[in-house]
Amino acid sequence: MNQQIINKLCIIGVGLIGGSLARALKKAGAVGDIVGAGRDVAHLEKAKALGVIDHFETDISLAVKDCDMVVVAVPLGAMQSVFEQIAPVITNDMIITDVGSAKGSVVKAAQAAFKDIPATLVPGHPIAGTEKSGVEASFPELYENRRIIITPLETSSTTAISKVKSMWQACGADVIETTIEHHDEVLAATSHLPHMLAFSLVDTLAKMDAKNEIFDFAAGGFRDFTRIASSDPDMWRDICLANGDALVEMIKKFSDDLQKLSNAIEKNDSTYLKETFERAKKARDEFCDSKNINDSLE
Ligand code: NAP
């Protein structure tokens, strides 16, 4: 059991990500009191009944009162409005972080809301999640052995950075630091593009006349590849809007390569096809080895 590192925590947005953080910190004994905030009383009552939070408030400016840590875990499109509500009441010893899947847009939202970004703000992003949403889907082990990327700003104080790191480490996570730009480029490639491919593939098939037959014939490979197309559409709309430049760049790169593959098939270019598949297989095998993944067992 960890020592208590947060006295009073406010989680704004007690869904999958915020709820799992609350559960993990409670399980680790790393937090005293947890207040949840959100728009919908029924969701917050559910979170309290599940033991995820101790109290709740729908007025965000009241929810953060006396908190030494505030975690903003709302959809990207709601970040600015939440920052605007806490701006008038933040104090010098209130650490603020977020969990948004894109970071440039969160910093823009903070600039617009706070004018002078507080030294206690340290943006963050847990590289963990599922295709489910809401507090019912939250669980305390979500962050165990997972990476949390924090993107401290020039203005972020060392005290704030170290407290945000300790919070995630108490959940069993491995915390790494990078810049906002690097985060957004890398996530466009490794997370945002794959989600676009899954959504787009399922949508293309669903629009075909023979869709029922196609889905009937689909097997494990289709299921593996398309699991993430069950993710929350609102969240993914927000991520596309928030990280549009980096994502469009990746979609262009991928479309060029897909076109080359299509040309090679048309021209019966077996060398191109085999070389592409060999390169991809080698890269994926190395990735799985480095992460100890054996997905034939899953
Ligand atoms: P979620 O399960 O839908 O939870 C979002 C929560 O935010 C809900 O509890 C919702 O509660 C609250 N909320 C929505 N709009 C709000 C507003 N305007 N003011 C106050 N509260 C609001 O979503 P999630 O998956 O936890 O995602 C939350 C954040 O984590 C997003 O920024 C996402 O980019 C990031 N993230 C998600 C994943 C993932 O795999 N899901 C992974 C890493 C990071 P009410 O409806 O009651 O207001």
Residue 194 sits in a domain whose CATH number is: 1.10.3660.10
Answer with the one of 158, 178, 198 that is the final residue of a domain: 178
Ligand 1 centroid to Cα of residue 108, in Å, is 18
Residue 1 lies in a domain: no
Residue 207 lies in a domain: yes
Residue 243 lies in a domain: yes
- Which residue range is the domain that position 81 belongs to? 6-178
Per-residue pLDDT of 95-137, as tens digits, reads 999 999 999 999 999 999 998 999 999 999 999 999 999 999 9
228 shares a domain with 204: yes
Q: How many CB atoms lie within 10 A of CB 93?
A: 11
Residue 277 lies in a domain: yes
Q: How many CB atoms lie within 10 A of CB 134?
A: 14
pLDDT (0 to 100) of residue 114? 96
Pocket test for ligand 1, best of 10, 12, 16, 20 (most atoms within 8 A of CB): 16
pLDDT (0 to 100) of residue 292? 85
50 shares a domain with 13: yes
168 shares a domain with 21: yes
124 shares a domain with 189: no
Answer with the one of 136, 157, 178 that is the final residue of a domain: 178
Ligand 1 atom 40 nearest Cα: 129
140 shares a domain with 11: yes
pLDDT band at 285 (very low <50, low <70, confident <90, very high): very high
147 shares a domain with 273: no
Whether the per-residue pLDDT at 297 is higher than 70: the answer is no
116 shares a domain with 259: no
pLDDT, average across residues 166-190 = 98
For residue 74, what are its two tokens? 């709302």
> What's the CATH number where 67 sits?
3.40.50.720
Ligand 1 centroid to Cα of residue 113, in Å, is 19
Answer with the one of 150, 178, 206 that is the final residue of a domain: 178
240 shares a domain with 164: no
Amino acid type, 40: D
Q: Give Cα separations from 194 to 87, 218, 224, 229 (angstroms).
A: 35, 19, 12, 9
Higher pLDDT among residues 169 and 291, named by residue:
169
Q: What percent of the chain stands above pLDDT 90?
A: 90
Give the ligand 1 atom nearest the CA of 43.
47
Give the ligand 1 atom nearest the CA of 18.
26
165 shares a domain with 30: yes
220 shares a domain with 164: no
161 shares a domain with 56: yes
Summary mean pLDDT of the chain = 95
Sheet strands side by side (includes 95-98): 55-57, 31-37, 6-12, 69-72, 95-98, 121-122
Higher pLDDT among residues 268 and 222, named by residue:
268
pLDDT band at 216 (very low <50, low <70, confident <90, very high): confident
96 shares a domain with 141: yes
Pocket test for ligand 1, best of 21, 74, 171 (most atoms within 8 A of CB): 74
Residue 204 lies in a domain: yes
Distant-in-sequence, close-in-space partners of 238: CB < 8 Å, separation ≥ 6: 75, 76, 77
Pocket test for ligand 1, best of 14, 44, 60, 235 (most atoms within 8 A of CB): 235
Q: How many whole angstroms separate alpha carbon 171 and alpha carbon 250?
A: 32
The total number of structural domains that make up the chain = 2
Task: Output the ligand 1 site: residues, CB below 6 A.
Answer: 12-18, 38-40, 43, 73-76, 78, 81-82, 99-101, 125-126, 129, 133-134, 232, 235
Ligand 1 atom 10 nearest Cα: 13
